[in-house]
Amino acid sequence: MGTTRTTEKRTDDETTVPAQGAKETAAIPETTEAEAAGKAGAKVDEHADDNAALAAQDEASDLEAGDGADDLDRDTHATTRATAGIAAGAGAVVAAGIGLASVTGTWLGTTLAERANLMGQIKVQSGKAQAADQISAVYGASWHTNALVNGFFAVLAVAVAAVVLTRPRATWVRAVAWGGLALGVLGILISAGMYLDLFGGMPTVPKAPTGGGPAAP
């Protein structure tokens, strides 16, 4: 009897032990699956972090490229403004110089006036012109030629100064341009007065006295 009970107990223990081992063995895959899922999630998170880092790098690169483009645009704009300022200053100085030349006279006007005077002298020496025509050919032609040349330079000075003053400029540029404009207008008035003989009429030859001579004795 005792032997039989001991044998049954051993049989029960042996049966119980494999069952527990089976349970433990069955629990192992569940733990492995959880760990695999955790690792997969960690990998997904790592990929997400890598993608976020790459996106941040791309944004930083875009910002740097945008900053470089802005700096280039600023440099180009500054260069353009500097060039425009230099051109405006040069134009103002040129307008003032031409305006002054139109008032005081130019080498070209003097040369053309001498040429007109020479042609008038040649015409007079031919002996075919009357006294009034001789004066006009020798004196009037050179006077009027000089007036026309000075008037041309005066109009040119006004045009250049007007172009410079069409846009906002530096203070000194506007001042010089206004000076050139004033000199140009003054040169136009002087040239017009010279050409129209407003400052002095054309010289005339006095007429010979008429009447009989002394009576004969």
pLDDT of 162 higher than 90: yes
Strand spans (E) along 29-106 = none
pLDDT over 80 at 96, yes or no: yes
**What pLDDT is attached to residue 168?**
84
Centre a 10 Å sphere on the Cβ of residue 164 and count the other Cβ atoms it contains. Answer: 24
Asked if residue 111 has pLDDT above 80, the reply is: yes
pTM assigned to the model: 0.58
pLDDT recorded at residue 156:
95
**Do 115 and 148 meet the contact criterion of CB atoms below 8 Å apart?**
no
Q: What tokens appear for 173 in the block?
A: 């540029």
d(CA 107, CA 138): 19
Over 50: is that where the pLDDT of 217 sits?
no
Q: pLDDT by residue (tens digit) across 164-212?
A: 998 888 889 999 999 999 999 999 999 999 898 888 777 676 665 555 4
Residues 6+ apart with CB under 8 A from 138: 117, 120, 121, 124
How far is the C-alpha of 69 from the C-alpha of 78, rounded, in Å?
Answer: 14
129/108 Cα distance (integer angstroms)? 28
